[in-house]
C-alpha cells in the first residue's frame, strides 16, 4: 500500500511531549497537522515548544529559518475535537487509560470520515482491547513512536485482532515516508521493544541484588564491553523508575506473572522512596549541581614479566581477543585444547554460563578465571573477570595483567553465572526468540526494533548468530541449572536451532 499523500491532513490528540513530537514529525514530512488537547492552552504550548526546539537547529545552522516557518505554519492548534473531522489520519497520544482512550476513539468514529485511519500511540494497552467497542475496529492501528519522536527512528506498527492489513500497510509506508524505520508487531503485551528489552534492566538489577559489584561498575561494563549507549542504571534513572517499574509490572502481570519478567525489589524500593532518577534528583546516582557520580571499580596495574600466551583450542567468539593480544606484542602459541588461554599462573576462559567455581571443580581446571563477552574484543575498553574461589591471588593478578597489556581496563566481579554481558545478551536473545516463535514480529523486525528503538549495537538474534549456533542455548541451560529457576529457561526456538546447528538468519 502507498503512503498517505501529503495532502492528507493529520490530527494529533494530546499535546504533551510525545504528541507534540509526533505533530512535528508529520509537519516536517509536509502534512497539515491539527494539534488538539483538552487542556486549555496546551496545544498552543505544544506548538511553541516545537518552534523552540527547531529554532535551536536554525541557530546551529542545521536548518533554514524558512523551513522552520513552513513547519510551524503547518501546525494548527485546535481547541475543539470536532475541528479534526476532516483529518485522514488521527493519532491519539493521551493518557494510558483504556476507558479514556476508548471514549476518545468512539468520539473520533462519530466525527471523522469512514475511511479515516485512527491510530493509537499506546505503549502498553492492547490495540485489540482499544478497538473492541468500535464500530469499525479494522480502521484502528497502533502507531507507537519512541520518545523523543522527532529523533528516534523506530515506529512499531501494531495490528490488533481486527486491524485491516491494508491499514497497517498504509501506516507502515507512511512512517517510512516520514523518515522512520517501521516494524510490524502483533498486539501482545509490550509489543516488541518493551517486551524484549526487559532483560536488559532485569539482569543488571539482579546482579546488583546479588552483590556481584556496584551499579557504576555494572554500567561501565555494559557500555565499554557491550557497546550499549548506556548502562541499565543510567538508563532507568533517565527513564524514571516509576515509569520503568510500572512497565515491568504491566508486562509481568500481562504474561500471568511469568518469572522471566519478575520485577526487581531494588527498583521497588527506589520507587517507594521517591528516588525516581534524574527527575527527582536521585536514583541509582545522585543528580544536581554538586552531585558526584560514582566511578566504576577498575583494577590497579598488575605487573607480569610474562610475554607468552598459550591458546588451547578454538576460543570461539573471543578469537579477536587473541589478535589484540598479538598486536600488543605478546607471543601467541596455539595448540589443541578446550578453548582456554594460559598466561602465567592463570587459565582464562570465556564464560559459558556456569560459575567459575563450579566449572573449575567440574572440569578440573586449576586457577580458572572467567572473562565476559564483549561486542567487539578489538575495541572493548573494559572487561569483567570472575575468578573461581579455588583460584590463587597470583593467578588472578596474571589474568588482570594480561588484559591490561592489551589496553583493557579490568573490573573484577563476584563469581556469578554468565557474568554481565553474556547473560544479558543471552536473555535478550531468549526473549527475542520467544517473540519470534509466537509471531509477535519477524526475526528481522525484532532486531531492527531493538537497534532503532533503543540504539542497541546489534539486534539480539543477529548477535546470537555471531556467537555461533547453539551457543546462547548452552549458556542459558547452564545459567538455569545454576539458579534452578524457570526464569532462565531457553526458548523453544533457541533449542530447535541449537539441535539443527543453524542460526536465525540461516
Sheet of strand 308-312, all strands in order from the earlier edge strand to the far edge? 331-335, 308-312, 340-343, 346-350, 368-371, 382-387, 409-412
Position 218 in a domain: yes
Q: Do residues 235 and 324 both lie within one domain?
A: no
Distances (CA, A) of 505 to 354, 442, 491, 497: 27, 11, 17, 11
Phi/psi at 183 (5° precision):
-135, 150
Position 2 in a domain: no
pLDDT at 405: 97
Q: Which of 410, 431, 448 is the last residue of a domain?
A: 410
What letter would DSSP give residue 335? E
pLDDT at 506: 83
Q: Do residues 12 and 133 both lie within one domain?
A: yes
Position 300 in a domain: no
With beta carbons less than 8 A apart as the criterion, state whether 180 and 153 touch.
yes
Q: Do residues 178 and 203 both lie within one domain?
A: no
**Which among 314, 308, 323 is positioned nearest to 349, based on CA atoms?**
314
Distance in angstroms (rounded) separating the CA atoms of residues 367 and 362: 13
CATH of the domain at 428: 1.10.1040.50
Position 299 in a domain: no
Distance in angstroms (rounded) separating the CA atoms of residues 158 and 131: 12
Q: Do residues 439 and 485 both lie within one domain?
A: yes
CATH of the domain at 177: 3.40.50.720
348 three-class SS:
strand
Position 167 in a domain: yes
pLDDT along the chain (506 residues), means of 10: 96 97 98 97 97 96 96 97 97 96 98 97 95 97 96 97 98 98 97 97 98 98 98 96 94 95 97 96 94 95 94 94 96 95 97 98 98 97 98 98 98 98 98 98 98 97 97 98 97 97 94
3-state helix, strand, coil in the chain (%, to 5): 45, 15, 40
Peptide bond between residue 148 and the one before it cis (omega within 30 degrees of 0)? yes
475 three-class SS:
helix
Cβ count within 10 A of residue 137: 20
Q: Do residues 265 and 285 both lie within one domain?
A: yes
Q: Do residues 41 and 181 both lie within one domain?
A: yes
Distance in angstroms (rounded) separating the CA atoms of residues 300 and 259: 39
Position 270 in a domain: yes
In degrees, rounded to 5, the angle at the alpha carbon of residue 419 between the alpha carbons of residues 367 and 411 is 75
With beta carbons less than 8 A apart as the criterion, state whether 194 and 251 touch.
yes
Phi/psi at 234 (5° precision):
-60, -45
Range of the domain at 237: 188-211+213-294+415-505
352 three-class SS:
coil
pLDDT at 458: 98
Q: Do residues 134 and 88 both lie within one domain?
A: yes
The enclosing H or E element of 76 equals strand 75-78
Distance in angstroms (rounded) separating the CA atoms of residues 157 and 184: 5
pLDDT at 293: 87
Distances (CA, A) of 306 to 8, 81, 327: 71, 75, 16
Q: Do residues 15 and 159 both lie within one domain?
A: yes
Q: Do residues 175 and 217 both lie within one domain?
A: no
How many domains, the chain? 3
Kindly report, residue by residue over 37-94, the tens digit of the pLDDT. 999 999 999 999 999 999 999 999 999 999 999 999 999 999 999 999 999 999 999 9
Q: Do residues 223 and 324 both lie within one domain?
A: no
Q: Which of 410, 430, 448 is the last residue of a domain?
A: 410
pLDDT at 1: 83
Cα 70 to chain center, whole Å? 35
Distance in angstroms (rounded) separating the CA atoms of residues 200 and 334: 36
- Residue by residue, DSSP assigns 436-464 as HHTTSS-HHHHHHHHHHHH--SS-HHHHH
Position 1 in a domain: no
Q: Do residues 198 and 81 both lie within one domain?
A: no
Cβ count within 10 A of residue 362: 9
Dmax over CA atoms of the chain, in Å, equals 80
Position 449 in a domain: yes
pLDDT at 114: 95
Q: Do residues 155 and 282 both lie within one domain?
A: no
With beta carbons less than 8 A apart as the criterion, state whether 175 and 143 touch.
yes
Task: Specify the pTM.
Answer: 0.96
Q: Which of 410, 435, 468 is the last residue of a domain?
A: 410
Amino acid at each position: 500500500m502507498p503512503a498517505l499523500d501529503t495532502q492528507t491532513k493529520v490530527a494529533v490528540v494530546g499535546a504533551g511531549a510525545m504528541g507534540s513530537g509526533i505533530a512535528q514529525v508529520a509537519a516536517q514530512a509536509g502534512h497539515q497537522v491539527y494539534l488538539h488537547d483538552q487542556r486549555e492552552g496546551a496545544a498552543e504550548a505544544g506548538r511553541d515548544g516545537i518552534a523552540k526546539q527547531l529554532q535551536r537547529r536554525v541557530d546551529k545552522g542545521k536548518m533554514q529559518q524558512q523551513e522552520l516557518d513552513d513547519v510551524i505554519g503547518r501546525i494548527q492548534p485546535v481547541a475543539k475535537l470536532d475541528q479534526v473531522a476532516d483529518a485522514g489520519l488521527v493519532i491519539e497520544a493521551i493518557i494510558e487509560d483504556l476507558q479514556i482512550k476508548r471514549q476518545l476513539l468512539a468520539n473520533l468514529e462519530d466525527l471523522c470520515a469512514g475511511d479515516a485511519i485512527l491510530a493509537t500511540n499506546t505503549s502498553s494497552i492492547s490495540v485489540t482491547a482499544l478497538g473492541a467497542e468500535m464500530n469499525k475496529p479494522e480502521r484502528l492501528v497502533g502507531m507507537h513512536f519512541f520518545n523523543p519522536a522527532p529523533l528516534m527512528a523506530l515506529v512499531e506498527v501494531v495490528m490488533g485482532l481486527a486491524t485491516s492489513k491494508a491499514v497497517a500497510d498504509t501506516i507502515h509506508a507512511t512512517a517510512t515516508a516520514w523518515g522512520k524505520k517501521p516494524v510490524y508487531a502483533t498486539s501482545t503485551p509490550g509489543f516488541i521493544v518493551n517486551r524484549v528489552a526487559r532483560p536488559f534492566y532485569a539482569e543488571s538489577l539482579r546482579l546488583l541484588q546479588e552483590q556481584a559489584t556496584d551499579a557504576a561498575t555494572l554500567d561501565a561494563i555494559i557500555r565499554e564491553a557491550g557497546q550499549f549507549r548506556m548502562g541499565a542504571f543510567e538508563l532507568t534513572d533517565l527513564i524514571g523508575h516509576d515509569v520503568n517499574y510500572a512497565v515491568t509490572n504491566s508486562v509481568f502481570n500481562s504474561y500471568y506473572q511469568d518469572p522471566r519478567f519478575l520485577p526487581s525489589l531494588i527498583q521497588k524500593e527506589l520507587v517507594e522512596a521517591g528516588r525516581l532518577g534524574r527527575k527527582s534528583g536521585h536514583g541509582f546516582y545522585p543528580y544536581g549541581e554538586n552531585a558526584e557520580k560514582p566511578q566504576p571499580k577498575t583494577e590497579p596495574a598488575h605487573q607480569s614479566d610474562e610475554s607468552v600466551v598459550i591458546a588451547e583450542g578454538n576460543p570461539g567468539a573471543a578469537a579477536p581477543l587473541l589478535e589484540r593480544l598479538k598486536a600488543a606484542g605478546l607471543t601467541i602459541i596455539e595448540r589443541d585444547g578446550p578453548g582456554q588461554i594460559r598466561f602465567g599462573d592463570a587459565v582464562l576462559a570465556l564464560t559459558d554460563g556456569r560459575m567459575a567455581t563450579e566449572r573449575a571443580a567440574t572440569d578440573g581446571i586449576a586457577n580458572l578465571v572467567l572473562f565476559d563477552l564483549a561486542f567487539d574484543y578489538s575495541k572493548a575498553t573494559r572487561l569483567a573477570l570472575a575468578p573461581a574461589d579455588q583460584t590463587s591471588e597470583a593467578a588472578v593478578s596474571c589474568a588482570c595483567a594480561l588484559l591490561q597489556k592489551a589496553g583493557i581496563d579490568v573490573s573484577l566481579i563476584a563469581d556469578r553465572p554468565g557474568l554481565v554481558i553474556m547473560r544479558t545478551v543471552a536473555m535478550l536473545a531468549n526473549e527475542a526468540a520467544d517473540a519470534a516463535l509466537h509471531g509477535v514480529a519477524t526475526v528481522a523486525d525484532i532486531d531492527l526494533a531493538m537497534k532503532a528503538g533503543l540504539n542497541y549495537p546489534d539486534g539480539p538474534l543477529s548477535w546470537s548468530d555471531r556467537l555461533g549456533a547453539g551457543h546462547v542455548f548452552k549458556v542459558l541451560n547452564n545459567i538455569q541449572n545454576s539458579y534452578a529457576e524457570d526464569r532462565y529457561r531457553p526458548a523453544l526456538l533457541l533449542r530447535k536451532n541449537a539441535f539443527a546447528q543453524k542460526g536465525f538468519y540461516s
